[in-house]
Amino acid sequence: MTDAIQKELKFLVESHLSFIYPNADNGELADRLMAIMELDGSCMKPGVHANSWSQKDIFTITYGDSIRRDGEEPLETLHTFFNERLKDVVSGIHILPFFPYSSDDGFSVIDYTRVNDAIGEWEHIVEIGKEYNLMADLVINHCSSRSGWFDNFKQRKSPGADYFIETDPNTDLSEVVRPRTTPLLREVETLNGKRHVWCTFSPDQVDLNFANPEVVCEMVGIIKLYLDRGVRTFRLDAVAFLWKEIGTSCINHPKTHEFVRLFRTLIEHHSPDAIIITETNVPNHENLSYFGNANEAHAVYNFSLPPLLVNALVTGNSNHLKMWQMSMPPAQMGTFFLNFIASHDGIGLRPAEGLLNEEEIDALANTMQNFGARISWRTAEGGRPKPYEINVTLFDALQGTVRGPDKWQIERFICAHGIMFSLEGVPAIYIHSFLATNNYSEGVDLTNHNRTINRYKWDYDELCEKLDDGYSHHCKVLQRMRELLAIRIKQPAFHPNATQFTLHLGEQVFGFWRQSLKRDQSIFCIHNISDTEVAIPLSSINLISLNTWEDLVSGEKYTDLHKDLVLGPYDFVWLTNKPGV
């Protein structure tokens, strides 16, 4: 690193810190953070508005032990499965928290520096990172009440004595936004008597105190460790809740945004191709704010997509989906949307607020309950409960419509993924969507935890038998998904930042137009999201008659543009003037 870049970097780090800690002398802290990251030699200045991604980038979301085989570490089994079944169509793997934990399936971290010995070791993580873009969670807002830091807090010794947020229980905290119904404060016995600590998510997940610079140093050290172990994509878990200020909502605080900018500055100067993704399960406009001016997150989760897409497919009406898509600003160069429609958590409903009304959200939740879903709740204004999340596997969520189950489950499920694979952004597919896993209701009964319904652990041999049998829905879905992804990765018009415009072809149809960055390929993506046949005049799609148009999905060519495009229930086409190779 040249002296000029070194000086510029220190200026940037100090600027971030001065906003967060305005009354402190931040020069020494800036030097300390740069030293932790070893930013003192050959690092390069990151590019501005540079894309280090393309249509070939596709993530899978999975737990380290989602697939297990007797006599083998789960991370080894996972690596084998990806190499055998998905390597040619998946470029990145998001391994959900793989650390020792005490609850919430990994999101209550006991030790950030170790791999959970129940699933493997660091060497397994490193090996996966050599072949795939490895995404890891930076569980930044809180840690486990069984962590060494919290033990030290109770013993009043360092490190940890001042790592947590103590609050008088008589304080008015009514403005604080809560994602859960559990009490915000937890009483704990310490050597200095009873104290009350802040717990946004659960009594076992104790919020870290970022007003203490020592906590920042600890977290930056963890970031450096992950980089050294091959992590190139950081998912900042629950980051929206990071900074607490009494008298505010304690969500999306300006200082929280500044922390994202600080972490980006440090990470980019260490590894210019590294990526930060913010996990902010909040209403749409709040979520988009984490792009900043292309100087915060490289990517944000498209949280409104899952509830709106599922709602469209079970109602047969695309109007809300289209209205939302038209309101979405295109991601600036150097940023992208991470598109997902299923995850380890469920279908979040807060991102649908303001897009669906309360009656529509309740109707969606009721339909999903008829398909075996569970509903998780949050405490809203005035202490009243509101549905927060639908817990269900996506395959079972799409088993029917508002009228009940029907025969179109696989077609509806594939249509949902056809939409996600062709939208602006990078797709992220939950492992249980690839495998078309059904609701694990027995697991919910065992754990009394709603999210367990979508966290089944497959036996490797049993899974392979189903995937190879030629007739199970697991086999059919994986084959169709692989075929669609193999098409996607060849199309320049499916670049995450390629142009996108919404088409208006009736409420039963969800369509949009994509154009490559070089403007040499167009794709019209037209999806029937209903259980009845639709006919669309080709003349209404504005296809240029001088071109030859081909459906990438079926291979069919369209030469007579005066005919109708006929789509059966949940059929879709990707019409292009220039198939990618």
Residue 528 has pLDDT above 80, yes or no: yes
pLDDT band at 246 (very low <50, low <70, confident <90, very high): very high
Determine if residue 261 is labeled as part of a ligand binding site. Answer: no
pTM above 0.85, yes or no: yes
70/74 Cα distance (integer angstroms): 9
Average pLDDT of the chain to the nearest whole number: 95
In a domain, 199, yes or no: yes
Residue 28, amino acid: E
pLDDT on residue 43: 66
pLDDT band at 423 (very low <50, low <70, confident <90, very high): very high
Which DSSP category does 43 fall into? P
Residue 523 has pLDDT above 60, yes or no: yes
In a domain, 334, yes or no: no
Determine if residue 469 is labeled as part of a ligand binding site. Answer: no
What does the pLDDT look like over 302-329, one tens digit per residue?
999 999 999 999 999 999 999 999 999 9
Determine if residue 451 is labeled as part of a ligand binding site. Answer: yes
83-91 average pLDDT score:
98
End-to-end Cα separation, the chain, in angstroms: 40
pLDDT band at 42 (very low <50, low <70, confident <90, very high): low
> Would you name the residues annotated as active-site residues?
237
What does the pLDDT look like over 249-291, one tens digit per residue?
999 999 999 999 999 999 999 999 999 999 998 888 999 999 9
In a domain, 62, yes or no: no
Residue 543 has pLDDT above 70, yes or no: yes
In a domain, 57, yes or no: no
Determine if residue 186 is labeled as part of a ligand binding site. Answer: no
Please indicate, yes or no, whether residues 203 and 272 belong to a single structural domain of this protein. Answer: no
111/45 Cα distance (integer angstroms): 32
Of 81-90, 365-374, 544-553, the poorest mean pLDDT is in 544-553
Determine if residue 362 is labeled as part of a ligand binding site. Answer: no
195-204 average pLDDT score:
97
Please indicate, yes or no, whether residues 182 and 219 belong to a single structural domain of this protein. Answer: no
In the block, tokens 């995450």 appear at: 496
Determine if residue 236 is labeled as part of a ligand binding site. Answer: yes
Chain centre distance of CA 375: 20
- Whether the Cβ atoms of residue 204 and residue 103 lie closer than 8 Å to each other: yes
Please indicate, yes or no, whether residues 250 and 192 belong to a single structural domain of this protein. Answer: no
What does the pLDDT look like over 471-518, one tens digit per residue?
999 999 999 999 999 999 999 999 999 999 999 999 999 999 999 999
Please indicate, yes or no, whether residues 220 and 178 belong to a single structural domain of this protein. Answer: no
Determine if residue 57 is labeled as part of a ligand binding site. Answer: no
Ordered DSSP codes for 172-238: --TT---SSSS-SEEEEEETTEEEEEE-SSBTTEEEB-TTSHHHHHHHHHHHHHHHHTTEEEEEEET
Q: Provide the domain limits for residue 507.
A: 499-576
Token code pair at residue 427: 């797709």
193-216 average pLDDT score:
97
326-351 average pLDDT score:
94
In a domain, 525, yes or no: yes
The count of domains in the chain is 3
Please indicate, yes or no, whether residues 570 and 507 belong to a single structural domain of this protein. Answer: yes
In a domain, 2, yes or no: yes
